[in-house]
Each structure stands twice: as structure tokens, then as C-alpha cells.
Chain A
Amino acid sequence: MKPAPFDYIVPQSLEEALGLLHDLIAQGVDVKVIAGGQSLMPLMNMRLATPAALIDLESLSGELAYIEEGNGLLRVGPLTPHYRLEESPVIARACPIITEAEALIGHPQIRSRGTIGGSLSHADPSAELPLIWTLLEGRAILATKTGQRVLRPQEFFISYLMTALAPDEIITEVQLPVALEGVGQALEEFSPRHGDFALAAVACQVSLDEAGCLRGARLAVGGAGPTPIDVSEVLEGYRGEAVTEKLALAVANQMVTHLDPPDDLHASREYRLNLVRELGRRAILKSYQRCLRTTDV
């Protein structure tokens, strides 16, 4: 469990990092960027990943670790570690589902090192932040030496641990919409032990119209396919209706017909679908309850 030899490079600025990345790729060097290392280091220690060079972004924390809110947008630096998201009052107000999710991500040691950019780039379909980013239709700014582009979750996630990130590209910002007043969010997940990747997770965000019926409807599932899956269209079909136990169950039942989860060591396909159904039902009702609470205030 020792990594293969690699060159270790510490850039002093984002510009330098992107330049180095560009040049090394051009030379045919198998180079990877590393942030908190919570996914890449185990892969390297088990020699499942053997990059010839690592560019360590930690030195760019001053530049790329931030949480900013403005114009209805939450802008998060990719090197922001989990614990800062967990403790941030800005996040708690502007995107409370992230605060809720952080308590479920790994353990304090992992949250101390792991970053939001790392979590999205690693693209584990069971991970919480990719799910929430999908739920909220966030954006990621990706930069290379020569330019930048903005991707949506559906464009960014390709498959298990695969993203649209080009080898010479780095996420330079993660964006999420600020949760408006009256919006209710909830995350429900199931894992065998605290801190494990979820066997299944469902995230929901709803808002209500003046009659107290469903208006805004977002719904996404994690752990049930190669990427987080946006199933909002199912919930959208019930716009204008009262949110009841019956509605939640109907949506949950309908939602699973969009999924094709795999069998694996820890859960059969059938069990996963059952979990998604139950977690979906709970997430819809919980986000509705939270909606009512914030509306009352």
C-alpha cells in the first residue's frame, strides 16, 4: 500500500498550475491535480492510479477556497474543504441542504481535508455534494491555460468516476443558486454505517404557491446509477397539487421507474430501488414540512 514513484509539483498560482498542467499534458506526462487527496491518495496507495506527476493545489487555497453569496448565487471556491461548508453560516442560510449533507460526509478527518472541487471531480455517484449540485442545477467553471467554460451537472458527470473535465482542466468555481425564502430542502440517505457512501440518497427541494400547493419541484437521486440522476420531471408533473403522503408515495413510485441501479456487494438492485422509493417519499414530505415552517416565519 505504497504509491508508485511520482513527481510532486507545488504551483504558486492558478495560472502557474494551469500552465504546468498544459505543458505536461502536451509532453505526454500522465499528470493529475490533487486537492484534499481523500479519493486519489487511497487509489494511489493501492496502485489503482499511478500518475507520473501530481500538481498539488493546496498551495492555492488562498485563491481558491472561499464561500461568497451575491445576486442569488452562491459561489464556492473548489478548494473549500467540507468542514468550512459544514460550519459556514452563509451556507446554512443560503443552501441549508449542504449543511445537512456535510454531517453525513465521511468523518471529521475526511471533512477536514476533502474539498468540494475534489468531490465533484471524483464523481462518485453516491457522494452527497454531486447529488446536491445536480438537484440544484448548479454550474461549474472549468479553466484551462487558454480559456474557460461553464458546465451544468448533466454535462459534467459522464459515468462512474468519469467527468467531462479535460486532462488539462481544473474546476475553478462551483456555483449554486441561493435558496429563496419559502423554499424547503431535504436530503435523505441510507448507509450501513455512519459516514459511508450512501447505498441510496434522495434530495428534494420544493416551494409552494399561495394556496400551499406545489410550485417549485426539484428531485434527484444518488447511488442508483452511474451519476446522480435528476428526476425532477416526475415531481413537476404534480405542480399545483397539495403535497400529501399520497402524492409523495405516488412520486416515489414513479421515480424508481426512471432508475436502473446495479447489484453490488452491499445492495441488490431490488433493495436499492426499495430504498430510493422510501427515501424519496421521506425527502418530499420533509422538504414540504420545511417549506411550511419557513413560510410561516
Chain B
Amino acid sequence: MTAIGKPVKRLVDPRLLRGHGRYVADIHRPGLLHAAFVRSVHAHAEIIGVDISRARGLAGVVAIWTPDEVAFSPLPLLFAHPKLDPVTQTPLGHMVHHVGEPVAIVVATSRYRAEDAIAAIRVEYRVLSGVAFLHEALSKGAPRVHRDRPHNLAGEFEQRVGDAQAALREAPVVVHDHFEVGRISCMPIETRGLLAEWDGGLDKHLTVYAATQTPHMMRHIYGQYFGLEAENVRVVAPDVGGAFGAKEPFYVEDLVVAWAARELSRPVVWIEDRLEHLSAAVHEREQIHESAMGLTRDGRILAVHDQFLAGTGAYVPWGIIVPIITSTLIPGTFQVPHYLCHAKVAYTNTTPLAPYRGAGRPQAAMVINRLLDAAALKLGLDPAEIRRRNFIPTDAFPYETGLISREGSPMVIDSGDYPDLWETLLQEGQYSYWRQRQKALDEDDRAIGIGVAIALENTGMGPFEGAVVSVKENGTVTVATGAASQGQGHETSLAQIVADVLGVRMDSVRVHEGDTDAVPLGTGTFASRTAAIAGSAAHGASLLVKQKILAMAGQLLEASADDLDLKDGRVHVKGVPEKSLTLGDLAFMAQGPFPGSTYSWPIEPGLSATHYFVPAGAVYSASAHLVVVEVEKHTGQIKILHYVSAHDCGREINPLIVKGQIIGGIVAGIGTALYEEVLYDREGQLLTNSLMDYLIPGAVEMPDIISLSQGTPTPLNPLGVKGVGESGAIPSPQAVSAAVQDAVRGWGIAIRRVPVHSQDVYLRDPRS
């Protein structure tokens, strides 16, 4: 049986495409009430009073809570770090620190009624000065984001290998760079949302259906807040329509909605609308970098020094993971003997930042690839060639980088073959053909540009993920894991893994995810971890079940385990197909005979096993992109002519799903490079507060994308699998912006910021 490696169509799609998905907003409960939030219209203000007198009497309004009636403790800090001075959000507190922060909650018989009440509520603010622009946040005399803190620095840290400053002083060739990355919204098609209901009685029980990436973490936080044992909280992530990081942190709404349901003894649902998503769900990317690279005259890297400022918005919903990831991944696939990265993280009076697909890695890819492009230009080398001269050699793995990774341990790259990945990209992507075509283009109203970039992705991080694999009486195999799918196709790829181990058909494997009652402990779905970690857990649990099957069948068929084979849902004696048992029959017998009898099987009851996979360290995927763009001189219109990706995610469980992830990531990356940006004015007013102004690229804007696979298996998990969920999004902003830069270099235009828009690259018309 070899389901692994086959481009099997996703099992979930027929159901979703027919409209049979069941998302939080599809769940109904008798007596269900609807919540909506009054949100701050100011970036920094004290709430003097909230007048609810008109709203209270409106039809359908059940309850309103304002800062005067409640006192919540601040949200728990996720991902503490010794260098982090954390401020987490206080639900419905008297101070607001960004536009869109919840001020009060209204619960009503419908969302319409709740919004009517919101329109009738008057909030009196005392507006305070604040700071919205990242580049001003740490300036001397900048207004303070939090009045009770002396400054706006949230954290400051360094990564150091060797002595980069000394090496730069002595380097024969040095290039400098400065660039900024704009702020991005995660923007899943399904926004956030949750439905909370309490079961009464002495032993209170909370059930929450939430569009979340992290059900077990939510369960833990609810337990802490409400003083409940874990078994008295159940968090279920039903079908979830995308997340990309937005559904990873624990938000004020998550707490307050569950709290309101308890106060009212009624189920309460809140579904975020698109306007709320833009102002209240986390953003990411915003960073400003100053960097330098020292090289030998033949283009070998001697040192890299990067100083950057990362925004975290008003709070730290996910620690300072994003800038830490950036700091560890700048050297990427290259040998950098001396490296210094100095990061400062600043608070601003804006929506908080936390990981979005890619999580700090696209920024890291920009730093190193931009420096290499600058160095290539200075040295007269081809951008493809300068990278060749600097890759970590293929025989150097496991490669000790000398850096400290995000989990606090030494960063070791497990496996890879970057020279081969690079040549695959250049050859299959017809790099030299496009260079020739670029030179041959003889039109004065347009130019062609070629961008290349390569990036490293640390994937498959811990601490662990578990899987419970069980064979049912009817032969169906169930797999329960702590991961939660938001559309990644886990139900298919995990089924492929289990089907192979147990010798059953894929369609007899059912994957249950996102339910804290289905598996006791779990971590969640983020950081490209499910295939590597939950996949390995499912693999391990399946092997344990297989052992049970063999032991039991061995006794029944009077054969040793070595003489047994699992195939088509049966276990049989090798060469004697008629001596066989179905897995379903074994599962029935393993439940034990009738009550009062004696259990005589050589295994513990139940054809089921639990396995937690604890990875020894991150596994490193790599991806390289080649992009060709055409830029029109007089309008600045940017058109992508050619897009090729080559990636290494180890062994591919399902190449179709891998390809889908790669393309999805690239689409996101093109958005980051050319279209999407959350903008504030200096006072912290959100300027891009609807999809009229926050531009998501559509299918028409997307080029055909060629996705190539390499696949160097990792030794760190039994499947040889590395993560791929974010890969496409990582080198893409750099590859695209580098292509645009390459096109407009001749017009004297320098690109120092993404997204890059047509208006940044048109040539002011000399004919006028």
C-alpha cells in the first residue's frame, strides 16, 4: 500500500463545495443570543463614560456591559521571553490603545438588534496623544503608547555569531541597504467567531465552538479564567475557513463572549465582520531594516549586520516570536561567518501584530536577498551566480548556525541541498532564456525585470502533537489529533499516512480534529507543523495499533507476527490469503467478550493507541522563486509574466496538497509585494478600513505558477516530512519586488519598500 506520495484529491472538498461545511456561524442553539462590540474610534483614549440609556431599552437588547460594570484581568501572556516587557490587553478596560479595540459588549436577540444598540450608545472619551507610525515610535519625545510605561520599547535583543562589525570593517567590499515592509492583514475568507454555551449544575461545563487554530490553548485559558478543570471545558473548532495566523492568539472577544454566556445562562455567538477583522484581528509584517554585508572581491559573504525595528502594535498577543524568527533566519541558506542582528520591538497605538503566514521569515528573506542583489550589482556578478558562491554546502548537514532559535535552543539545520534546489529553479525556470529576452527587448515604453530569491523556513516545531488511532468494529479507522484544520487538507494527508501503516483504504480512515475532547493534549495548527508533527504522531499511533493487530491476529491465526500481512482491511498469513481476519472483527473482539467473562487477548483492550510525537528540533524547508515582470513606463503597471517556485519540503505526503499550499502561499506573497497594506494616519486612524481600500489580489491578478519539488527528507521524523504551509509566502515578496526593481533600475528608480505600487515605479513623463 502506498497512499503516501500520491496526489490524492482532498477528501473534504466534495462536502465543502456542495455547501455542506459547518462553520461556527452555521451552528444553532435554542435560545442563542448574538453579541456585538462597541469599538474604540480613537487610537489612544481614556473612557470617561459610556451612556447606554438609549440603547438599553431598544427591542431585543438583552444585556450591555461597559468598563464601569466589569473588571477583567489582562489576557495571559503567550510566549514570554526574557527580553520582552509585555503588555497584554485588558478586556473592556478603561483605556483603549488602538482603533477597533473593544469598549463594550452588547448581547441581543440578533446581530441586527445588537448593532442597533451600538448605534445608540454614546462613549465619552478623553483623547490622549499616541503614536501610530513605527518609525516614530522610539523617537525622543514620542507620545507614549501606554501611559503607565516610560517608553515604547517592548523588547530588544541580539543574535550574534563571530564579530560582524570587525569583519565589516575589514571586508574589501561592503554594501548597505535600507527597506521597509508594510503591514498586512491575515484576511481569511471566514472571519473570527465563537459560540459559547454553559451547562448548568454544580459541575459547570463550558463548550465553545470557535474558529481557532489552537483549541487546546483556548481550553487552557478558559480553565484558568473561569477556574475550571480541563475536562470541564471543551473547545471545538468546526470547519474553519482559513486562518493564516489570525485565529492563533486568544482575543478579548474570546473571553468576553464566553463570560457573557455564563452571566446570562444562555448560549452566545459572536461572528466578526470584515470591518472588525481589519481593525481588531492581528496584523503582521511591519518592519524597518538597516543592513550591511561585507564580501570578498569574488562575492563570498564575510559578514552581515542587520538592525531592525519591528512593530508589535498596542500589545504582544504572541510574544515577540515574529522578530525572533526574522533574526534567526536572515542568513538562511547561506554561510555567513560573522553575523550580528540587533532587533528592537516597538509598541504603537495600532492593532497588535502576531504571526501571519510566513511569520517574520519573508522579512528575513528580504534582508539577505536584497543584500546579495546589491552585492552582485556592485561586483558585476549575476544574482544567480553570487548565491551559488555562498550556499551552505550539501555535505554540511546537520549544520550548526551558531544562532539561538525561537524556542531558545541552538539552531541546527537538519537537511537540505540548496545548490541543487537553486539549479533546479534556474534550469526549469529558464533563467538564461529570460535574461536574454530581457536584453533583447527593444521597446522604450516597457521593461522586463527578473527577480530571484531563496529562503529557509523552520517548520514542524514543538512542543508536540498527539494522535489517537482506533479501529472500529466496522473496519473504519479513526484518527483524532490536536491539530485543527483551516483548509489544509489534514483529513486527507493524515489518512494517507494511517492507511499505509494499517493496510486499509484511505476512504475508510476518518480524521477528527479540532476537538479538545477527542485527544487530551494538543498544540494546534500553525507554523507549518501539522504534516511533520501530527503526521508523525498519527504514524506512531498507527504503528502501535498495528502491533496490537499483529499480536492478536498471531494468536488467532496461530502465526508469528513476521508471517502476517495487513492488506485491504484484513490481516492474513503470508501466502495463505484464506487464513485472514478483518480489522473490524479484531476490533470487535478486542472490546472483550460479554460482561463477566475472561479477557484472553495478548493486548490491552481496544484496538486503539495514543502516541505523542515530540520533535527533537525544527525541520528546515527551503524554497526558491524566480519571477519575471514587465513594467510599463508611463503608467507603472506591473505585470507578472512568469512565476516559478522550487521547494524542498522533504518527503511529500500528498503532492497535490503541497502544490496547493505553495500556490496559496505565493498568492499571499504577491499580495504582500504588490497590493495589500494596512495604513494608518499619524493619529492612528485606520485608513484601510474596508476591502475597498485594503486590496486583496484576485484570480485575475495571479499569474500561472509553476511549482517544482526537490525533496530532501529530514532525519528528524519517521516520515522524512518538512512543513510547507508557509513556504510559498516567504521568498515571494522579495522575488517579486526584486523583479520590479530589476525592471526599473534603468529608469533610476530604487525600491525600498513593499508593497510596491505602480505609482512608485512609473517614469515621470519627460514628454509633458
Contacts and interface: CB of A to CB of B under 8 A. Distances in A.
B282 to A, nearest CB: 20
Interface in A169-193: 190, 192-193
B101 to A, nearest CB: 18
Interface in A272-290: 274-275, 277-279
| B interface secondary structure, majority | loop
A26 interface: no
A194 B698 contact: yes
B115 A193 contact: no
Q: How many interface residues does chain A have, given as a range?
A: 20 to 34
Given A1-B273, A253-B768, A265-B687, A192 B758 contact: yes
A256 B768 CA distance: 10
Interface stretch (B306-314, B531-539, B688-696): B688-696
A193 B112 contact: no
Given A1-B273, A47-B115, A193 B768 contact: no
Contacts of A275: 635
Interface in A36-72: 46-47
Interface in A248-288: 249, 253, 256, 265-268, 270-271, 274-275, 277-279
Given A265-B679, A274-B764, A190 B635 contact: yes
Contacts of B116: 4-5
A240 interface: no
A271 B761 CA distance: 10
A237 interface: no
A275 B172 CA distance: 45
Contacts of A4: 115-116, 119
Contacts of B688: 265
A193 B275 contact: no
Contacts of A1: 115, 273-275
B701 interface: yes
A167 interface: no
Contact of B759 (A5, A253, A268): A268
B675 interface: yes
B759 A271 contact: yes
B701 A193 contact: yes
Contacts of A267: 759
A244 B566 CA distance: 80
Contacts of B701: 193-194
A253 B637 CA distance: 20
Nearest to A250: B767
A281 to B, nearest CB: 8
Most buried by A among B112, B119, B698, B768: B768
Contacts of B675: 192-193
Interface string B401-440: 0000000000000000000000000000000000000000
A195 interface: yes
Nearest to A197: B692
Nearest to A47: B119
B634 interface: yes
Interface string A213-248: 000000000000000000000000000000000000
Nearest to B59: A5
B601 interface: no
Contacts of B634: 274, 277-278
B757 A2 contact: no
Contacts of A279: 635
Interface in B713-768: 757-759, 762, 764-765, 767-768
Contacts of A3: 112
Nearest to B637: A190
B690 A46 contact: yes
Given A1-B275, A265-B679, A265-B693, A271 B637 contact: no
A5 B110 CA distance: 12
B635 A278 contact: yes
B757 A192 contact: yes
A194 B700 contact: yes
Contacts of B693: 265-266
Interface of B: 111-112, 115-116, 119, 273-275, 634-637, 675, 679, 687-688, 690, 693, 695, 697-698, 700-701, 757-759, 762, 764-765, 767-768
List of 10 A-B pairs having minimum Cβ-Cβ separation, nearest first: A194-B700, A1-B273, A278-B634, A271-B759, A2-B112, A2-B115, A253-B768, A2-B111, A278-B635, A190-B635
16 contacts: A1-B273, A1-B274, A46-B275, A190-B758, A192-B758, A193-B675, A194-B701, A195-B698, A249-B767, A256-B768, A265-B679, A265-B687, A270-B764, A274-B762, A274-B768, A277-B768
